[in-house]
Amino acid sequence: MINKKAVLTSVLAMTIVLSIGCTSINTPIEAGNNDNPKQVEENNEEEEKIMESHNQEKEEPIDQVGLRIEEMTLDEKIGQLVLVGMDGYDVNDNIKELIQSYHVGGIILYRKNVKDSNQLLSLINSLKSSNSSNKAPLFISVDEEGGSVSRNPNEVKKLPTARSIGKTKDSSLAFEAGRLLGQTVKKFGYNMNFAPVLDIDSNPLNPVIGNRSFGGTIEVVSTMGFEMFKGINEEGVIPVIKHFPGHGDTSVDSHIGLPVVDHDLKRIMDFEIVPFKHTIDNGADVVMVSHILMSQIDPEYPASMSSMVINDILRDKLKFEGVVITDDMTMGAIEKNYNIGDAAVRSIKAGTDIILVGHNYEKAVTVFNAIKAGIDIGVISIDRIDESVYKILKLKEKYGLEDSVIEDLNVEEINRDIGKLIEKVK
């Protein structure tokens, strides 16, 4: 006989067990339980993202220029801040010493260095070969504007003046002139050209600008100057826009004395500086600063030595981040009023990157030694030097500068192309 009480007890126990089992099965797995396939996949994806982020941080490109600067001696750094001229038709002991012992960053050649096409090509090749032991290639520079300011050999035709191009009101001719300027100097081995002139010729008594300017209005100079800039740049030559902040309204030649311009900031921002701003906004890499005393802006120092002009206006207001170079520091505007070494130090402190010493070996050495002394006594910080060296080396890298020699050139081909432009401008 079956005990009813025992049966009831057994059934009750079974019910409780089954109830607990069903509850366990239906309970959701807590977040984080690795037995959930979807959660495992999400966790893996998150881990992959974190690893990818770490890898990207590790794979950031190495700043090669920064590494090169760390390996440079102080003399090598200072040398990059100096661009010098030379005497004669051939590489001599003085220029060789400036290149090999003072490590100058560049050379400028004038008409006095040019006899004919073959000699010029040979000279530039020799300068590059003399630089073989240095870590950075040379700027080989020239003032080749066309017209009255031309350093090309006599057998090369002169390009039309900027003024004659400006009068055509045809911007394509300004571009073509720039392209031919770049093409011509590049065939001789130059890699930097101090052109175009962006001065507005607003003073009929100006003794130095004249037909070097595209004209007397903002529109003509801005448009034509920028097109010439583009043409030079297209040929892989570094264009240097000049003479900031504007040499057009002067009555003194800065080669002889110190011009004084009595305009306030609003006037020059609304007039003289407009062509410079237009070209800076559209890719200018180098600006040449002139030896002009802007009496209402900085009554003490010319633009080439003025922090108010270089830092406050050019850097801060115009947002220019490229290389700043002075006009030639052996010009009368500087030599008759300042010690060239002191002027160079003040210019570097004001924000200049390259000091141009166009003439005289001794003056080039004086500038080098003055900068070095300025660093030694703490007037110029090494960070300030490194800042300029970085910009200079990045510029050389951007344009792919090399000290490679050029075997030969075809003057007839150059003249043929220039002749075509002359016919269009007539």
What residues act catalytically?
A: 255, 327
Tokens 């002027």 appear where?
A: 343
3-state DSSP assignment of residue 344: helix
Q: What is the secondary structure of 215-284 as a DSSP string?
A: -SSHHHHHHHHHHHHHHHHHTT-EEEEEEET--TT-SS-TTTS--EE---HHHHHHTTTHHHHHHHHTT-
* DSSP H or E segment with residue 385: helix 382-398
Farthest-apart Cα atoms in the chain, separation: 139
Burial (CB count within 10 angstroms: exposed 0-12, middle 13-18, buried 19+), residue 34: exposed
* DSSP H or E segment with residue 8: helix 4-26
For the chain, first and last CA: distance in Å? 135
Q: Are the C-beta atoms of 222 and 258 separated by less than 8 Å?
A: no
H-assigned helices in 87-217: 93-100, 117-130, 162-168, 171-188
Backbone phi and psi for residue 168, each to the nearest 5 degrees, phi listed first: -70, -25
Q: State how far the Cα of 332 lies from the Cα of 310, in Å rounded to an integer.
A: 21
Looking from the CA of 413 toward its CB, the CA atoms found within 13 Å total: 6
Q: State how far the Cα of 353 lies from the Cα of 105, in Å rounded to an integer.
A: 11
Q: Are the C-beta atoms of 292 and 299 separated by less than 8 Å?
A: no
Burial (CB count within 10 angstroms: exposed 0-12, middle 13-18, buried 19+), residue 321: exposed
Tokens 């017209």 appear where?
A: 147
Distances (CA, A) of 292 to 25, 261, 297, 410: 90, 7, 11, 40
